[in-house]
Structure 1
Amino acid sequence: MKLLRLFAVALFAAAAAVVALPGAAQAHGALQVPGSRTWLCYQDGRNPQTGAIEPKNAACAAAVAQSGTTSLYNWFAVLRSDGAGRVSGFLPDGQLCSGGTGGPYNFTGFNLARTDWPLTHLTAGANVQFKYNDWAKHPGTFSLYITKDGYDPTKPLAWSDLEPTPFDQVTNPPANGGPGTDDGHYYWNGNLPSGKTGRHLVYSVWSRSDSQETFYGCSDVVFDGGNGEVTGVGGGGTTSPSPSTPPSPSPSVSTSNPPNPGTGGCTAMYSVVSAWSGGFQGEVMVHAGTTPVNGWKVSWTFPGGQTLAQTWSGKATSSGSLATVTNESWNASVPANGHTTFGFLASGTAAATVQNLTCTTG
């Protein structure tokens, strides 16, 4: 009997150890479109060859430095078991993105007030398909809140920063795939808030109806005419969540212009992200030198008659093949040795390189 008890204790300890391994937690999901900080930082930091968490985005790296890599191995676990759907007055100001400090893991690094979190580009008032990972499936209600006009991402998020009522709410939406996978998700269509411009934050609350467990999440967005493109993941790259923008893309084209010395303390690096018949998507990274940049302008000339069609995270003017992009108010400042990124769509054959690429400040 004693031997049997010892065997049972050993078996229980082994099982507990398995549950404690990174990625093995019994957790349930996070908003993926528009992507939450935990989901996009997991995409940014996960090494697909080794499985290690190696953040490239500076905000994601800062979050991991504070909260540890477990906060990304368990990106789907920002929850409160006693939440019962409660929002304002339940989680303290400044702790909204971590679900407070009473969850199963330390997510406090995702409360950091920064302007360089991975960013989803949207169009105000547009109808979009929201996606919420279903690592575990439960009945319940999803509520999405938006920040008020004048939201300042450099300050800790408070309940007073959010509009008091959700702009979108759905109960028991359909699911595609899952559970227990990165790709499985609930999905539903809804309209984004109208009249919004510039930087904002979408706050998600998933309240289970079969328990008090409630999930919380922060998704950084910018209303700049985008169609769901994501920037700031994997060292500043841009990804498109669906084939609708750009239409029928071909595989990513890994070509770029090297940084140009420019003048006034900034350089620019041009690259093509994807291409399709009659157009392509590109991005430009604006790099600061050893001193901070406050205001920037990038210009270039397309080599073969290509023309600029649309930009995000920058204000564009163009004349024929000549394109000029200046900063938005929220990304004018670039710290010393840091960078920001803007994206664009262009018509014509994809231009692997451009001419006269310059960056100036002020």
Structure 2
Amino acid sequence: MRMPTTSGFGVRRRGILALAAAIACLFALAPAASAHGTIVSPATRAYHCWQAWGNDHLNPAMQQQDPMCWQAFQANADTMWNWMSALRDGLKGNFQGATPDGQLCSNGLARNNSLNKPGQWKTTSIGGNFSMHLYDQASHGADFLRVYVSKNGYNPATQSLGWGNLDFIMQTGKYPPAKDITFNVQTSGYRGQHVIFTIWQASHQDQTYMWCSDVNFG
């Protein structure tokens, strides 16, 4: 009696092992994914859109109820899914020189350009003295956070944000690694809709984050 051959099985088995080895090499060579963070209160533009619509991003009602988030999701949904990763490396403190006017809210990242678009972004109501909350998934800590408020007369519904539109308010000191960093901000003379622009210099290599949070001073 002729015994069944096992050569076909051997070939298939070798092919599977080779494929597994190739996949393992890809994982070994790929940089490890790392989570970062953002200002969650008052919410940054990308974080607000993710929080409000992440579980309902295909709802056509978004176009009417929250048109700025709608246009952002249409432009690049990854901007919202990766709300924690709006970083650039190696700026060496040259924030203004490395970030042109009109690109502040995207931190100069082309993939997040929808965040720069003027319009009726949803606002968080705050008082003249308010608390800010940085949520950092990776607990990088901070060399500092720098806070600006858009000048009186600037209209975020019709104007893109430039450095000349900002009043510098404060810079914090250094924070040790932690998932949650909160600090208080004191302002005066602001009423109505404004943009809070925040720079986070993470204590993790030379990583810089910049965001816009839309607020309404009561």
Match status 1:187 vs 2:182: yes
Shift of 1:5: 7.0
Amino acid at match of 1:113: P
Aligned to 1:242: none
* Partner residue of 1:70 out of 78, 91, 94: 78
* Corresponding position of 2:22: 9
Q: Within 5 Å, which residues of 2 pair with 1:74-223?
A: 74-101=82-109, 106-114=111-119, 116-124=120-128, 126=129, 128-139=130-141, 140-153=143-156, 154-163=158-167, 165-172=168-175, 175=178, 178=179, 185-188=180-183, 190-223=184-217
**What residue in structure 2 maps to residue 305 of structure 1?**
none
SS of residue matched to 1:30:
strand
Paired residues of 2:140 and 2:177 also in contact (CA < 8 A) = no
Q: Is the 8 A contact 2:198 2:210 kept in 1?
A: yes
Runs of 4+ in 1 over 3 A off after TM superposition: 2-8, 12-17, 52-55
Cα deviation, 1:54-83, whole Å, max 9, x if unaligned, reads: 4622100111112x2111110111111123
Alignment of 1:1-362 (within 5 A): 7-13=20-26, 25-47=33-55, 53-54=57-58, 56=62, 57-66=66-75, 68-101=76-109, 106-114=111-119, 116-124=120-128, 126=129, 128-139=130-141, 140-153=143-156, 154-163=158-167, 165-172=168-175, 175=178, 178=179, 185-188=180-183, 190-224=184-218
1:260 corresponds to: none
Higher normalized contact order (CA 8 Å, seq sep 6+, divided by chain length): 2
Question: What count of residue pairs does the alignment treat as equivalent?
Answer: 197
What is the TM-score of this pair, normalised by structure 2?
0.80
Q: How far 1:142 sits from its partner (Å)?
A: 1.2
CA distance in 2, matches of 1:220, 1:173: 27
d(CA) in 1 for partners of 2:92, 2:57: 32
Q: Which amino acid aligns with 1:202?
A: I
* Structure 2 unmatched runs, 5+: 1-13
- What is the alpha-carbon distance in structure 1 between the residues aligned to residue 138 and residue 47 of structure 2? 15
C-alpha displacement at 1:168, in angstroms?
4.4
| Gapped regions of structure 1 (runs ≥ 5) | 20-24, 179-184, 225-362
1:329 corresponds in structure 2 to: none
- 1:15 Cα deviation from its structure 2 partner: 7.1
Quick check: 1:65–1:109 contact (8 Å CA) kept in 2? Answer: no
TM-score after normalising by structure 1: 0.50
**Alignment RMSD, CA only?**
2.7
Aligned residues with identical type, % of pairs: 31
Deviation of 1:151 after TM superposition, in Å, equals 1.2
Larger helix fraction of residues: 2
Report the 3-state secondary structure (helix = DSSP H, G, I; strand = E; otherwise coil) of the residue aligned with 1:141.
strand
Tell me if the contact between 2:123 and 2:193 (Cα under 8 Å) persists in the aligned partners: no
Aligned 8 A contact 1:85 1:205 in 2: no
- Match of 1:77, as an amino acid? S
Distance 1:15 1:41 in 2: 34
Give the SS at the match of 1:77. coil
| Cα shift at 1:167 | 2.7
Q: What CA distance in whole angstroms lies between the structure 2 residues aligned with 1:59 and 1:15?
A: 39
Query: Do the aligned partners of 2:104 and 2:211 also contact (CA within 8 Å) in 1?
Result: yes
**Deviation string for 1:168-196 (max 9, x for gaps)?**
42320674xx4xxxxxx2222x2331111
Q: Any conservation in 2 of the 1:147–1:202 contact (CA below 8 Å)?
A: yes
1:144 and 1:53 map into 2 onto residues whose CA distance is: 30
Residue matched to 1:341: none
* Distance 1:27-1:82 versus aligned 2 partners, 3 A rule: farther
C-alpha separation between the residues in 1 aligned to 2:95 and 2:205?
Answer: 16
Shift of 1:86: 2.9
Read off the aligned partner of 1:187 and give its amino acid letter.
T
Render the CA deviation track for 1:244-302: whole Å, top value 9, x for unaligned.
xxxxxxxxxxxxxxxxxxxxxxxxxxxxxxxxxxxxxxxxxxxxxxxxxxxxxxxxxxx
Q: Which has the higher strand share?
A: 1
Structure 2 distance, partners of 1:16, 1:130, is 38
C-alpha distance after superposition, 1:191-218 (max 9, x if no partner):
3311111111111111123411111110
The Cα shift of 1:108 comes to 0.8
